[in-house]
Amino acid sequence: MQKEEVERLEQIATELRIQVVKMFEAAGSGHAGGSMSVAEIISVLYFNQMRINPDDPNDPDRDRFVLSKGHSCFTLYAALAKVGILAEDALYHPYEVDSPIQGHPELGICPGIDMGTGALGQGLSAGIGMALAARMQKRDFRVYVVIGDGEANEGMVWEATMLAPKYKLDNLVAILDYNKIALTGPIEETIPLEPVVDKWKAFNWHVLEADGHSVEELLVALEKAKEIKGKPTMIIAHTVKGKGMSLIEGMRNSHAMAKFSHDDATMTIKELMSE
């Protein structure tokens, strides 16, 4: 793996975080924790792994991305703007009624969104549908679904987890953004997810682990997933909620910031740029 590519993707993750902070400032609030923890995952997918076509965001052969933890969508919006699918100006009109930047991603409103999400627990099922469609249409696109650890409380996640191996969906990769904190606090207090690797293994998935903030480890896992035949892959990405934002990083209340000020933005951007 080329050092330059790793550095480039790390740099993009930082740029995505900075962009997200600017969006929080424009919005005055935001789902900060999960948007920060997913930055490297989205950087690696959109800027290295996925086959996308900025000239035709609806290209039927494009790889698909489902951000099942839809509240982290600012990072996705920032990536879509950076690849040239979404007009950058739109990023500065978050949460406005006529803006493509809605609180959660929605099909038909924001270009480049492959599946609308927000009501938690539903994205993995949509990913299964996409992966089945690829097979039925004899296309070779791959499907990537990012789910949250809190989200994994939802029963539907396990319905989908149970079904995907039956159809041997080796074109489906799920990534768990395992930041260990949900809305009210640590998931150890809500519903512990451990032993998380054993759980997905028991459901007949191929399970890999990675440091979700290591571009290199994510790349290794995603490349490995391409070699796995006959079953879907789950990448357990160990992350830190609010990564890179000292205001909230790792804190139990890092899920969302009801108020995000100009000073918060200035300080966080300074921190991110000095990394």
Partner 1 sequence: MSDVLVPRNIVGSTLAEIAEKDPAVVVLDADFYTCTITEEYKDRFPDRFVEVGIAEQNMMGIAAGLATAGMKPFASALAAFCTRRACDQVTTSIALQNLNVKILGVYPGLFVGKNGGSHQALEDIAITRAIARMSVVQPADAWELMEVLHFAVRHTGPMYIRISREPTPRYIPDNYTFQLGKSSLLRQGTDLTIMTYGELIADTLEAAEFLSFKHGIKARVLNMSSLKPIDTKAALQAARETDCIITVDNHNIIGGLGSAVAEYLSEVHPTRVKRIGVRDVFGRSGSNQEMKRKFGLSAEDIAVQILDYLN
Binding mask 175-214 for partner 1 (x = CB under 8 A): ----------------------------------------
Binding span for partner 1 by CB under 8 A among 23-31, 43-51, 159-167, 246-254: 159-167
- As measured in angstroms, the least distance from the Cβ of 114 to partner 1 is 6
Q: Does 153 bind partner 1 (CB under 8 A)?
A: no
Among 134, 175, 235, 248, binds partner 1 (CB under 8 A): 134
Q: Is 64 near partner 1 (CB under 8 A)? A: yes
Among 42, 50, 76, 130, binds partner 1 (CB under 8 A): 130
Q: What is the DSSP string of 187-239?
A: HHHH----SHHHHHHHTT-EEEEEETT-HHHHHHHHHHHHH--SS-EEEEEE-
Tell me if 114 sits within 8 A of 66, measured CB to CB.
Answer: yes
Give the contact letters, 85-124, x = binds to partner 1 (CB under 8 A), - = no. Answer: ---------------------xxx-----xxx-xx--xxx
Given the complex with partner 1, which of 114 and 149 has the nearer CB atom? 114
Question: What are 15's two structure tokens?
Answer: 């740029």
Identify the sign of the CA torsion 176, 182, 186, 188: negative
Q: Which of 127, 148, 165, 242 binds partner 1 (CB under 8 A)?
A: 127
140 binds partner 1 (CB under 8 A): no
- Closest C-alpha among 204, 110, 193, 205 to residue 151: 193
* Separation between Cα atoms, residue 263 and residue 238, nearest integer Å: 30
Amino acid at 213: H
CA distances from 199 to 56, 188, 222 (A): 38, 16, 20
- Of 234 and 240, nearer to partner 1 (C-beta) is 234
Question: By CB under 8 A, is residue 51 in contact with partner 1?
Answer: no
**Bond prior to 60 in cis (omega within 30° of 0):** no
Q: Is 72 in the site for partner 1 (CB under 8 A)?
A: no
> From CA 85, how far away is CA 99, in angstroms rounded?
15
Among 6, 83, 156, 228, binds partner 1 (CB under 8 A): 156
Residues forming contacts to partner 1 in the complex (CB under 8 A) are: 60, 64, 66, 106-108, 114-116, 118-119, 122-137, 155-156, 159-160, 162-163, 167
